[in-house]
Amino acid sequence: MTHHFFLFAKPPIPIAFLQLASLALAILLLQGCATPVGINPVDIQTGYQINTVSALSAGEASEASKMVLRRNGLMDRFETEPEAVLAELHAGLKPSGDEDKLFALAELSLLQGERNDDHAYFLAASVYAWSLLFPGNGGVQLKPSDPRYRLAYDLYNQGIAQGLADPEGDDKGEIEVYLRSGEYPLPFGKLTTTIEQSDLTWGGYKLEHFISTASMQVRGLRNRYRTPGLGASLAASITEQKNSKKVVGSDRIGPRIKVPITAILDLGDARRHLTENEFTAHINVYAANQTKEISLDGHPQPIEFDPTAALAHQLQDNPMYTLEIANFFSGGLFSTMVPQDRARDGLFTLRPYRPGKIPVVLVHGTASSPARWAELVNELEGDSNIRENYQIWAFMYDSANPIPYSAGRLRIALQNAIKEFDPEGKDSALQRMVVIGHSQGGLLTKMTVVDTGTRLWDLISDKPFDQISVNPENRQLLRDSLFFTPLPFVKRVVFISTPQHGAMAAAHEWVTGLVARLVKLPATIITGIAQAAASSGDAKLNRLLRRPPTAADNMNPNNPGLKTLASIPVSPAVRAHSIIAVEGDGPIEEGDDGVVAYKSAHIDEAVSEKVIRWGHSCQDQPEAIEEIRRILMEHLGTPDLASM
């Protein structure tokens, strides 16, 4: 009997079936690892970036705008047909409300404008953002806690800066904004702008060359003080020539000034007109020192300002830095930077004169310039309490000239400014002046608050001054440079790294001799001394004429004039403060800052003394700035000594 066992064997499994089973098993395994919906844990920074990405921060739409695109099935199409998608979203806007779509239109329009450098879409972003922020009667505003709320301001602000920008740009990458009446295309119509030319004036000058600060990165200053709010923040230049209308203080506006201003495109009830093809808007311009907020829809709106960026722009490539050393030896170079119609006495204001604000006068040191006060200026103007109560002035001088001569010029400049600003003596704030001097500037500062009598004159002549026969001009020059009494309006002084008893380098005769050979003194000084010597035959004056002193001589610790000045205390009607730099960690009393020893900078009559572990140029250090801030705040709440 034959057994056919093969008839009962299992048939082979088909290959296709095995493949299908393997795939099913793989799917089951995958499903066990990750569900169709779930999460991917991330760190704090990544999570924040995911939730805050936007057209402004990352060059892509925010989740809020992507949500609108996804809801309408337009996500993929926006990448290929952005203009058509934006037109479709615009056409679908409801007569009111529709905040989600409005925001998406604002952000996506700015994104489109950036991708194609299309100013029409930048302006459209501003129109949409304005409509969202100020929807008019019956409109619904975003809640302040909604992240889109602040972003809508930024979209509006950037839309103005980019939409009104010079289409050609410039080789520096700066964005110059055109503020003028005109017609501008929109993707959905036309925008007509108007502006009052009177709004484009400041301190008696016409504003020009408006550069967007949003496109600036500030360097060289520790802090960037920026007030967030509404409008495109700009840094404006001023014309060299003043307007025909006289403005008090216009002669003293500093050279190369950049004015922090803001442009607001007032679109009125734009939300109600979004279905129309034509829009009108008025361009309003506000300066940081004049207006802080405006009213829209009955609510106060803060204005966006960026004063730090304007200051940095002012100092960008400023020739004052490179002229400091050359001006020390040659003199007169700083004055070439000053327009001819400005004050020629060296005293300048950072902003137009404002009644009711106390002047803070900054006096720089040797081979330096007012530009070296930039850090202090930025910090003081960034403090609202100080900004609202003080106005900053700066004195610029040729620092190789004899110190008494420069001090006389400072005093005359201050007296001139007081007369110009307040001829009737009504502004009490001007009578509470604070003068701050660094290094040699501190010696000039001291000469505003001391009574020298005839002591300085007696050092250079044995003949009474009244018996010297010179012409009126030279007599006035000698009087201004050698006879000092306290200026009644200076109520507080601050000395920073000041060589009250001399500078270390100036003690070496080879240093002072070299400076004397290299420095060119003003002819007026030589002429004045020569005429006095010739008319009197005085031996002291003749010796002085053979070797006229420079500022280096005046800072020699052995100089009789400096010793005399050091022996005269600050007027008891004035509060004096010292900020003294000492390098290293050694004993303060034996230390120095590399230029001035502690014992030289110390004065007994100072009501406060702050020692900073730093080098000579400490005026920009945080500790020095905070001490000055403290002093100024104290000054606000302290009555004048003379009235006590």
Confidence at 4, pLDDT banded by 50, 70, 90 = very low
Average pLDDT over residues 425-445: 97
Per-residue pLDDT band for 6 (boundaries 50, 70, 90) equals very low
Pair of tokens at residue 468: 């010297």
Rounded to whole angstroms, how far apart are CA atoms 70 and 40?
Answer: 22
The residue with tokens 């960690």 is: 585
CA distance 54 to 70: 16
Which residue has tokens 């004045």? 528
What amino acid occupies position 528?
G
Nearest to 372 by CA among 221, 259, 592: 221
**Considering the chain, what is the average pLDDT of its residues?**
91
User: pLDDT tens-digit profile of 24-60?
Assistant: 666 555 555 667 898 889 999 988 888 889 999 999 9
Q: Residue 573's pLDDT is what?
A: 96
Read off the pLDDT of residues 176-229 as tens digits, 9 standing for 90 and up: 999 999 999 999 999 999 999 888 999 999 999 999 999 999 999 999 999 999
Contacts with 81 (C-beta within 8 Å, 6 or more apart), sequence order = none
Across-strand partners of 302?
293
State the pLDDT confidence band at 124, using cuts at 50, 70 and 90: very high
Q: Is the dihedral of CA 592, 593, 596, 601 positive or negative?
A: negative
What are the backbone angles phi and psi of residue 34, rounded to the nearest 5°? Answer: -150, 130
Please, what is the angle between helix 403-421 and helix 472-482, to 10°?
Answer: 100
Paired tokens of 324: 């400091």
Q: Answer whether 439's CB lies under 8 Å from 595's CB.
A: yes
520 contacts: CB under 8 Å, gap ≥ 6: 329, 330, 331
346: left (phi over 0), alpha (psi -120 to 50) or beta: left
Q: Which burial class, exposed, middle or buried, applies to 147 when counting CB atoms under 10 A from its CB (0-12, 13-18, 19+)?
A: middle
Least confident of 129-133, 239-243, 250-254, 525-529: 239-243
Q: Where are the domains of the chain?
A: 54-310, 318-351+360-643
Specify the pLDDT at position 137: 74
Which pLDDT band holds residue 494 (cuts at 50, 70, 90)? very high
* Bridge partner residues of 305 (DSSP): 227
Choice among 45-54, 202-211, 343-352, 606-615 with the minimum mean pLDDT: 45-54
Q: What is the pLDDT of residue 150?
A: 94
With 50 as the cut, is the pLDDT of residue 7 above it? no
User: 367 exposed, middle or buried (CB, 10 Å; 0-12, 13-18, 19+)?
Assistant: middle
At 302-320, the pLDDT tens digits run 999 999 999 999 999 898 8
For 553-599, what is each residue's pLDDT tens digit?
999 999 999 999 999 999 999 999 999 999 999 999 999 999 999 99
Q: What is the DSSP string of 32-46?
A: HH--SS------HHH
pLDDT digits (tens, 9 = 90+) for 252-269: 998 889 999 999 999 999
Predicted local distance difference test score (pLDDT) of residue 606? 97
Share of the chain above pLDDT 70, in %: 93
Once rounded to an integer, what is the mean pLDDT over residues 315-336?
A: 88
Helix (H) or strand (E) holding 149: helix 147-163
Q: Is the pLDDT of residue 364 over 80?
A: yes
Assigned CATH for 318-351+360-643:
3.40.50.1820
- Going by pLDDT thresholds of 50, 70 and 90, the confidence category of residue 443 is very high
Taking the CB of residue 226, how many other CB atoms lie within 10 A of it?
Answer: 18
* Amino acid symbol at 81: E
Binned at pLDDT 50, 70 and 90, residue 20 comes out as: low
What amino acid is encoded at 147 in this protein?
P
Write out pLDDT tens, residues 446-460: 999 999 999 999 999
Least confident interval from 168-177, 251-260, 270-279, 530-539: 168-177
pLDDT at 279: 92
The predicted structure's pLDDT at residue 87? 96
Q: How confident is the model at residue 287 (pLDDT cuts 50, 70, 90)?
A: very high
- What confidence score (pLDDT) does residue 5 get? 41
Confidence grade of residue 273 (pLDDT, cut at 50, 70, 90): confident
